Structure 1
């Protein structure tokens, strides 16, 4: 079964609906984004106890788990003008939130000797981009965390990997003004944004390949 954290919009919503359409059992969460989907659960990923309680309430149905961490926020500001609290909130959601979800499911995965954990990192973790230091820090931190967790759990058939996503048709791209978006696409060697189906194919590949572990896959159209 698949658990998608942040399933009410963007990449999470697309993956949730895609796997549901394929007949896969999927659980999903949302937090700040309102949703009419009754099957999604409201969970604040920055609150470990809340995450843990939600996982515990679904324990009986959790088997052969794939956890996909899609919840994320950004904050745009040059560091010298930034609000430290807003900066920290990005770390709390994107990094600590991902860890909280992983921490809550790992004991179950370890007892079942199976697990797939997929985090969404970003091309900005390696490509210097002004004004998004909090987002870049949160996404690059996932690399080290995943490598460490892979070392701890690989012997139990549990994989932890990241997808370093470039600029896609989903997610936070809607925050980019049209004139900047056109310029952005010109910088991508593939000359287009990542299509949703390619995100799904990459996720599905990581679910089905048990020997890729502690890795980060670039899905960026050759943008470096």
Structure 2
């Protein structure tokens, strides 16, 4: 009888992302902060961007560094194309490459469409959707040149099912799904995978700020009868980063609320 031996090669089973350089936008709190921590724990050098939360990004950096991980914070406004270009240039200058891009930065300005202002529409579009274009555009040539890249964008259940008072937010998150599938087709033969994750209602500060009766109503409709955890979204992102034969896909992390 012969025994087949599978070579792991240079991959560290305990830290499978060792040697990889990852950008996580909007890494100062919530889902973005947890993604940054999970990638660092798995060996990646993580560059996390922040816009309005210097104290929170310092807390993320402290946690990662105390765990022995590598983290670098950069102040970036993803809605500004030149800022996204600067981000990519600084990461390459400091770390030599970009392997992973997690498009997580996002905001909400909720209001019924009848009352929504042009400014509220434009601001959400510029951060949530144009921001994904800006950061992806800034890194894509580098990824193509190295014949490797992992791009994961954080969409939302709202982009799939809609939500009252969130036409601007829903439009951006649905747009991310179309963007993901189209870019995946363009880059599938180039060693780059492009995927998205659609969180449901996750226990972040944003969700916790909802009125209690609204939050209770949401939880009552979730088949699993609870909010999700940021770490559960981060694990889906980690899977997509490591999955070589998965591209153009959307993973829903929503407790069964939308199927």
The two structures share one fold, judged by TM-score above 0.5:
yes
Match of 1:207 among 241, 244, 257: 241
More contact order relative to length (CA 8 Å, sep ≥ 6): 1
Match of 1:188 in 2: 222
- Matched with 1:48 is 81
Q: Distance in 2 between matches of 1:118 and 1:141?
A: 14
Give the aligned partner of residue 209 of structure 2. 175
Pick the aligned partner of 1:59 from 81, 92, 100.
Answer: 92
Inter-partner Cα distance in structure 1 for 2:44 and 2:74? 18
Q: Structure 1 residues 85-94 or 49-58, which shifts more? A: 49-58
Instruction: Map 1:46-195 onto structure 2 (within 5 A).
Output: 46-60=79-93, 61-63=95-97, 65-170=99-204, 172-195=206-229
Q: What residue is the counterpart of 1:3 in the other structure?
A: 23
> Which deviations, in whole Å up to 9, do the C-alpha atoms of 1:177-217 show, x marking residues without a partner?
12211111010011111122321221111011122111111
Of the three residues 8, 15, 19, the one matched with 2:39 is 19
Structure 1 unaligned blocks of 5 or more = none
SS at structure 2 position matched to 1:194: coil
Give deviations 1:75-115, integer Å, cap 9, x for gaps. Answer: 11111111111111101000000110000010110011110
How far apart in 1 are the matches of 2:205 and 2:244?
27
TM-score scaled by length of structure 1: 0.94
Give the superposition deviation at 1:175.
2.5
Pick which of 167-176 and 34-43 moved more. 34-43
Asked whether the 8 Å contact 1:51–1:100 carries over to 2, the reply is yes
Which contiguous aligned blocks of 4+ residues in structure 1 show a shift greater than 4 angstroms? none
Query: Does structure 1 conserve the Cα–Cα contact (< 8 Å) formed by 2:30 and 2:205?
Result: yes
Residue aligned with 1:126, SS: helix
Aligned length: 224
CA distance in 2, matches of 1:180, 1:16: 30
RMSD: 1.5
Instruction: Work out whether residues 79 and 130 of structure 2, in 8 Å CA contact, stay in contact via their aligned partners in 1.
Output: yes
- Report which of the two structures shows the higher radius of gyration computed on alpha carbons: 2
- TM-superposed CA distance for 1:171, in Å, is 5.4
Report the Cα offset of residue 172 of structure 1: 2.2
